Amino acid sequence: MKVLDKKDLVDGKALEHTRTERHILEAVQHPFIVSLRYAFQTEEKFYMVMEFLSGGELFYHLKVASRFKEDRSRFYASEITLAIGHLHGLGIVYRDLKAENVLLDAEGHVKLTDFGLAKKAILDNKSASTFCGTPEYIAPEILCNSGHGRAADWWSLGTLLYEMLCGLPPFYHKNVNIMYDRILNAKLTFPAFLTPVARDLLSKLLVRNPEKRLGAGQRDYEEIIEHQFFASVNWTSMLQKKIRPPFVPQVKGGDDVGNFDVVFTCEQITTTV
């Protein structure tokens, strides 16, 4: 349950983001996107109740494993690509793809969550202008404030895929300003263990010019799923969740929270109605 204090939403932008998130969650039905079960409000707060995904955050599992093998990374990237492609088909840019916003269900399939930064009615690569996102995953055009759109999500996909395969995002630095400089200027390098086909896909997703990035054209996600990296994927079966996930989270029951970091599960629940 996401609880938002109305006092914190008096700023118009925050209120707009909250409305957008609620409308998107309500409108979008997709196997790899979290579903909204209830939305209601009291005098002081807004509440959004989502389905509970007991598999935990992809971020948590990546931290445990350090990095994923190529097959596991390909599986997650495939489901994420289908989810983002669906959003783009509805004119929605996600703008906050990161390992923390990808949850796993009990079987090990992904679900995108947190649509607080999503924007509607964007059908190109430059109509959105708000500076937003998570530093490690921000596309160069957002940093440059030159207008952004769908292609920014594909940059973030490249960043996340690189992180899954290598253990860290490609331009990571603990100093955010240095990291921003690297995102804009540093040469993209790869560890020796990465396969040539994985390097090729990452090189095409992490292109600084959004118009030349893979997925930037009218065909959007179809450009990406045709890449050789995904040659073994049956996309119809993938969308129907007929492909067995390479990793199944250990889930003891419907209310098991063992796949979430204790930093969250040990927090005191302070909200009451």
pLDDT tens-digit series, residues 218-256? 899 999 999 999 999 999 999 999 999 999 988 888 888
What residue ranges define each of the domains in the chain, with the CATH number in brackets? 2-53+252-265 (3.30.200.20), 56-239 (1.10.510.10)
Q: Give me the phi and psi of 48, to 5 degrees please.
A: -125, 120
Tokens 């899954």 belong to 164
With the C-alpha atoms ordered 89, 92, 95, 98, is the resulting torsion angle positive or negative?
negative
Catalytic residue among 96, 105, 114, 220: 96
Query: Could you confirm whether 96 is annotated as catalytic?
Result: yes
Tokens 């990296």 belong to 229
pTM higher than 0.85, yes or no? yes
**Interval 11-25: pLDDT, tens:** 666 787 788 888 888
